[in-house]
Chain A
Amino acid sequence: MPFELDGITFYYSDKKVIDNFSIKLAPAKFYGIIGPNGSGKTTILDLLVNHRQPTDGSLNFKGRRLSSYSKFELSREIALVPQNFYINFPFTVKEIVMMGRYPHIPRFAAPAAGDWEIVNAVMEKSRIVEFADRYVTELSGGERQRVVFARALAQNTPILILDEATSNLDINYTLSLLNIAADGVQAAGKTVIAVLQDINLAAAYCDYLVFMSKGRIVTHGPAGEILNPDTLRSVFEVDAKVYFEDYCNSLQVVFRR
């Protein structure tokens, strides 16, 4: 079990953001976390990557308390594509992607040939080779988001966490990046935990969905079982129809306007 969350509560100053959150996440699955704005999705991810620590409850990673891991140990286990992908200095795209290899390169050593191979392969996969030598500060939002995604892939960790990682991408790149993530789950047994806004994308890609609202889990389970109009109404307060779509081989949702 990569993650075991038991009764997690988190306060942001006086405000309770996460309330009694308990779930076990298994390896080699694509998890989707879904919920309205401000429901605590990013905070849950912050807790999972040990960027913040729970106020109460226990959070174990591979059988050990998550907070007992050093940042360095975790950087070889968990990669994060954050929501904010602004980069402050004019590094080249290639340099940024290579930063994903830092956890694998000793502090004062130069990248090995193997690191360059991984960086190049990842840039091919994410289709950013054409601007490998450009400055990230000159790229568009969507281009930069692909660079940040490539950097997380270069980290080559068993767990990949995506915080609305496709928010600025067109549908072509969205599908292509989610396919890369899903491939990692299928072929390499990786675990992906993604916060997604688009419920249809979540239905198409995720094995398992976690619906949350106001810091609590509303319901969780295999996507095919728990995605239904009642869940959507209680979480988002919208009317929806859920049906099986052969074309993408998954449930899909349409909403009443």
Chain B
Amino acid sequence: MGKKLFQYDDQTGGLRKRLKEATLFQLLLLAAVMTAVIIISTGMGYIKVPAAAVVKVILAKLTGKADFLAGLDSVFSVVVMDVRLPRILSAAIVGGGLAVSGVVFQGILLNPLADPYTLGVSAGAAFGASLAILLNIGFLGMYSVPLFAFLGATVTLLFVIYLSSSSGGFSSNNLILSGIIIAAILSAGISFLKYIADEQVSVIIFWLMGSFGSKTWTDVGLTLLFVGLGLGVFIFFARDMNLMSLGNRAASSLGVDTRKVTMVLLVTASLVGAICVSVSGIIGFVGLLVPHMMRLLTGPDNRRLLPISLLAGAILLLGADTITRAVLPSEIPIGVLTALIGGPFFCYLFRRQHKARKIL
């Protein structure tokens, strides 16, 4: 008996170590892939920039030394710094943000089909943006539409929480149901706005399908701030999220203030989702698909799943944006592309999982 216990000890120790090493390896690998994708995609486009030149331009900017730019076409610097990097970085940050808030939504709603848009955040943002475009609100210049999108998303979130909260706390079914109802009402509202929009209807439709075109460093900073803060909150509560998958009673008996943690995570994840939508338009399937794929890779422990999903989401969306920007003959909306690739892939994944009798 004693010997068996000892052997078992050994085995768990080994497994734990392997898992830790594997996670670290996956993180490093994904970080390396992300860096490579950023550099390579920056070089791609109408004006080709060699990878070495991209690195030099970035180094010159970071260190402030102009020496790195010696012998380079001066157009490269403008193309890399002013045109491509803001777009590429915002695509990566939005991808990462959508993926981590997807992890959180699936974790606390205990529903593998939840994503950052489950609570009607996207419908709220879309309604806000449509309204701003229709009324041609321009007092904040180019930031009017994103601001209205963000406000729309936030108001929707608050209303959904109000609608679903009862004396007994939140139930995930109530939240999902409230989200669906509100989203249905809002999408009818959006249809109405489109109907009366006349000339702006194409602007509305184009915004709704998502795009990273003409993103600025302000967009990069804003999304980075929100996604960074959000990630901090998510990681802090990652262990509590693990416990909440045991159900509210069990989590509560293991020291989790389930009501408070649910509230904090819902609001944070929705705000991260909202900032992503307001910057990029509605981009589906990243928040749904990435957490699923990564859970297969690294297991459901949120402390590993969150950082891995962040990097994977960034790579995926950046890759998709690069395809529409630089590979396809003419740019198609990124939201359409992610749905066209992500949807069928999700079906395949779902079917395969189903067959293997594993629950996603």
Contacts and interface: CB of A to CB of B under 8 A. Distances in A.
Interface of A: 13, 46, 49-51, 70-72, 74-76, 78-80, 82, 84-92, 94-96, 99-100, 102-103, 107, 116-117, 119-121, 124, 129, 132-133, 135, 137-138, 148, 151, 155, 161
A94 B16 CA distance: 11
B221 to A, nearest CB: 28
Contacts of B358: 90, 135, 137-138
Which of A49, A82, A103, A129 has the most chain B CB atoms closer than 10 A to its own CB? A82
Contacts of A107: 236, 239
A117 B9 contact: yes
B77 to A, nearest CB: 42
27 contacts: A49-B249, A49-B252, A49-B253, A51-B248, A71-B256, A75-B255, A82-B253, A87-B245, A89-B245, A89-B295, A90-B300, A91-B299, A91-B301, A94-B12, A96-B246, A99-B243, A99-B254, A103-B255, A107-B236, A107-B239, A121-B5, A124-B5, A132-B8, A137-B358, A138-B357, A155-B254, A161-B253
Nearest to A76: B255
A126 B89 CA distance: 51
Given A138-B358, A155-B254, A99 B249 contact: no
Interface in B246-296: 246-250, 252-257, 295
B155 interface: no
Contact of A78 (B110, B253, B300, B359): B253
Which of B248, B250, B256, B359 has the most chain A CB atoms closer than 10 A to its own CB? B250
B241 to A, nearest CB: 10
Given A51-B252, A95-B301, A116-B9, 12 more contacts: A74-B253, A80-B249, A82-B249, A87-B246, A89-B107, A89-B245, A90-B300, A99-B254, A102-B243, A116-B13, A124-B5, A137-B359
A83 to B, nearest CB: 8
Contacts of B74: none
A117 B247 CA distance: 26
A102 B245 contact: no
Contacts of B107: 89
Contact of A46 (B239, B247, B249, B299): B249
Given A86-B247, A89-B300, A71 B255 contact: yes
B242 interface: yes
Interface in B5-20: 5, 8-9, 12-13, 15-16
Contacts of A92: 299
Which of B13, B236, B247 has the most chain A CB atoms closer than 10 A to its own CB? B247
Interface string B208-251: 00000000000000000000000000001001001101111110
B352 to A, nearest CB: 15
A88 B255 contact: no
B255 A74 contact: yes
A49 B253 CA distance: 7
A79 B247 contact: no
Contacts of A91: 242, 245, 299-301
A94 B159 CA distance: 40
B245 to A, nearest CB: 5
Contacts of A49: 249, 252-253
A86 B254 CA distance: 16
Contacts of B300: 89-91
A82 B243 CA distance: 13
Contacts of A51: 248-249, 252-253
Contacts of A13: 167
A95 to B, nearest CB: 7
Nearest to A94: B12
A76 B255 CA distance: 8
A202 to B, nearest CB: 22
A49 B167 CA distance: 18
A99 B239 CA distance: 9
Contacts of B8: 120, 129, 132
